[in-house]
Amino acid sequence: MSPTTLTLAPWDAAIVLKHDGSFETSLPQIHGDYVPENVLLGAALAFALRNEDLCSLIRENFERECASQSRFEDH
Protein backbone atom coordinates (compact mmCIF):
# COMPACT_ATOMS: atom_id res chain seq x y z
CA MET A 1 0.00 0.00 0.00
CA SER A 2 1.39 3.39 -0.90
CA PRO A 3 1.61 6.25 1.63
CA THR A 4 -1.43 8.46 1.99
CA THR A 5 -1.48 12.18 2.65
CA LEU A 6 -4.16 13.53 4.95
CA THR A 7 -5.13 17.18 4.78
CA LEU A 8 -6.12 18.54 8.17
CA ALA A 9 -7.75 21.88 8.80
CA PRO A 10 -6.43 23.95 11.72
CA TRP A 11 -9.06 22.61 14.17
CA ASP A 12 -9.00 18.98 12.99
CA ALA A 13 -7.80 16.17 15.24
CA ALA A 14 -6.39 12.91 13.89
CA ILE A 15 -5.07 9.61 15.19
CA VAL A 16 -3.12 7.34 12.84
CA LEU A 17 -2.88 3.72 13.97
CA LYS A 18 0.34 2.19 12.68
CA HIS A 19 0.80 -1.40 11.56
CA ASP A 20 3.45 -1.96 14.24
CA GLY A 21 0.95 -1.13 17.01
CA SER A 22 2.14 2.42 17.57
CA PHE A 23 0.12 5.52 16.79
CA GLU A 24 0.58 9.18 15.93
CA THR A 25 -1.70 12.02 16.87
CA SER A 26 -2.26 15.46 15.44
CA LEU A 27 -4.14 17.78 17.78
CA PRO A 28 -4.37 21.55 17.44
CA GLN A 29 -2.74 23.74 20.05
CA ILE A 30 -5.49 25.14 22.25
CA HIS A 31 -5.10 28.58 23.82
CA GLY A 32 -7.91 29.61 26.12
CA ASP A 33 -10.83 27.82 27.74
CA TYR A 34 -12.71 26.68 24.63
CA VAL A 35 -11.86 23.12 23.53
CA PRO A 36 -13.85 21.81 20.55
CA GLU A 37 -15.55 18.43 21.08
CA ASN A 38 -13.51 16.77 18.32
CA VAL A 39 -10.25 17.83 19.96
CA LEU A 40 -11.42 16.70 23.40
CA LEU A 41 -12.48 13.30 22.00
CA GLY A 42 -9.24 12.97 20.03
CA ALA A 43 -7.18 13.63 23.16
CA ALA A 44 -9.30 11.20 25.20
CA LEU A 45 -8.85 8.47 22.57
CA ALA A 46 -5.10 9.09 22.40
CA PHE A 47 -4.84 8.67 26.16
CA ALA A 48 -7.07 5.57 26.00
CA LEU A 49 -4.72 4.02 23.44
CA ARG A 50 -1.93 4.27 26.02
CA ASN A 51 -3.99 2.35 28.60
CA GLU A 52 -4.08 -1.42 28.05
CA ASP A 53 -7.21 -1.88 30.19
CA LEU A 54 -9.15 0.75 28.24
CA CYS A 55 -8.00 -0.72 24.92
CA SER A 56 -9.25 -4.14 26.03
CA LEU A 57 -12.63 -2.66 27.02
CA ILE A 58 -12.91 -0.89 23.66
CA ARG A 59 -12.10 -4.11 21.76
CA GLU A 60 -14.55 -6.14 23.88
CA ASN A 61 -17.31 -3.59 23.29
CA PHE A 62 -16.54 -3.57 19.58
CA GLU A 63 -16.78 -7.37 19.42
CA ARG A 64 -20.13 -7.30 21.27
CA GLU A 65 -21.47 -4.62 18.95
CA CYS A 66 -20.32 -6.54 15.86
CA ALA A 67 -21.90 -9.73 17.17
CA SER A 68 -25.21 -8.00 17.87
CA GLN A 69 -25.20 -6.28 14.46
CA SER A 70 -24.56 -9.54 12.63
CA ARG A 71 -27.56 -11.13 14.40
CA PHE A 72 -29.80 -8.36 13.08
CA GLU A 73 -28.38 -8.59 9.57
CA ASP A 74 -29.03 -12.35 9.37
CA HIS A 75 -32.81 -11.82 9.72
Q: List Cα–Cα distances, 65 to 57, 60, 62, 68, 69, in angstroms.
A: 12, 9, 5, 5, 6
Pairing of strands 14-17, 23-26: antiparallel
Q: For position 57, what pLDDT does the model report? A: 94
In a domain? residue 8: no
Q: For position 73, what pLDDT does the model report? A: 65
1-10: pLDDT as tens digits: 888 899 999 9
In a domain? residue 61: yes
In a domain? residue 1: no
pTM value is: 0.73
CA–CA dist 19, 69 (Å, integer): 27
Residue pair 46/15 in contact (Cβ under 8 Å)? The answer is yes
Q: For position 1, what pLDDT does the model report? A: 80
The boundaries of the domain holding residue 59 are 14-74
Q: Which residues, 6+ apart, have CB-to-CB distance to 54 below 8 Å?
A: 48
Our count of domains for the chain comes to: 1
13-71: pLDDT as tens digits: 999 999 999 999 999 999 999 999 999 999 999 999 999 999 999 999 999 999 988 76
In a domain? residue 7: no
In a domain? residue 2: no
